[in-house]
Amino acid sequence: AQSVAQPEDQVNVAEGNPLTVKCTYSVSGNPYLFWYVQYPNRGLQFLLKYITGDNLVKGSYGFEAEFNKSQTSFHLKKPSALVSDSALYFCAVRASGNTPLVFGKGTRLSVIA
Amino acid sequence: EPEVTQTPSHQVTQMGQEVILRCVPISNHLYFYWYRQILGQKVEFLVSFYNNEISEKSEIFDDQFSVERPDGSNFTLKIRSTKLEDSAMYFCASRPSGGPTGELFFGEGSRLTVL
């Protein structure tokens, strides 16, 4: 069965600094990896996904993520954080076919002005 | 931009009562899902639905839960006899096609409070 680990409950970063939100995965076969963001009292919004090809994936709002097969990681990054990036971030993985998307427990990002 | 809509946004009910949560997925989507999130924590899969039948369900989705798509647009989640631990945010999601690569599109959620 597939699973995702987000080792940090909370990440704090100063505005303008680079940010990283960590994610590692476990799946049989090829992983299909996703990042979602949740603002307070809102649904989950899709940010980006890795399917195949280039290990660096670019997504919405200036976010990008790096797929590392040897480390089974898919860390979310942004070169310069904004206060408006403060939210809950979820990593998710799907194995092959139509298996459900499995989410990590989430990481709360706080960007301080 | 098309979106998934959910009603009600918040429902308060007494333990043991039946609850129906409604969702209107994006119109050309074929795969439908319910997830739940307790207190802003982990997002947990409940059930997936395709071609008018359940394709997969989790351990959480026991006999108290049911889903249906009664009229080709609405997708409902019914909890027959609510328990305190059913209090959560319930998210509906959809996607246009199958296979492993497509992302889910989520609604804004229905907050269920069981007293």
**Per-residue pLDDT tens listing for chain B (115 residues):** 779 999 999 999 999 999 999 999 999 899 999 999 998 788 999 999 999 999 999 999 999 999 999 888 899 999 999 999 999 999 999 999 888 888 999 999 999 999 9
Judge residue B63's burial from the number of C-beta atoms within 10 Å of its C-beta, 0-12 exposed, 13-18 middle, 19 or more buried.
exposed
Check residue B47 and give its pLDDT.
97
Cβ of A101 and B58 within 8 Å? no
- Chain-centre distance for alpha carbon A46: 10
- How many Cβ atoms sit within 10 Å of the Cβ of residue B32? 22
Check residue B110 and give its pLDDT.
96
Check residue B2 and give its pLDDT.
75
Cβ of A100 and B99 within 8 Å? no
Residue A15 to residue A25: CA distance in whole angstroms: 28
Residue A53 has pLDDT above 90, yes or no: no
Does any CB of chain A come closer than 8 Å to the CB of residue B24?
no
Check residue A103 and give its pLDDT.
95
The nearest CA of chain B is from the CA of A41 a distance in Å of 8
Is B84 in a helix, a strand, or coil? helix
Check residue B72 and give its pLDDT.
80
Does any CB of chain A come closer than 8 Å to the CB of residue B55?
yes
Is B1 in a helix, a strand, or coil? coil
State mean pLDDT over A25-36: 93
DSSP secondary-structure letter at B103? P
State mean pLDDT over A85-91: 96
**Chain B residue with the nearest C-alpha to that of A5:** B42
Residue A99 has pLDDT above 80, yes or no: yes
The count of residues in chain A is 113
DSSP secondary-structure letter at B96? S
Residue B60 to residue B40: CA distance in whole angstroms: 18
Residue A72 has pLDDT above 80, yes or no: yes
Sheet containing strand B5-7, edge to edge, reads: B5-7, B19-24, B75-79, B65-68
Mean pLDDT of chain A: 94
CA proximity to A99, closest of B102, B27, B25, B51: B102
Which positions in chain B touch A102 (Cβ < 8 Å)? 45
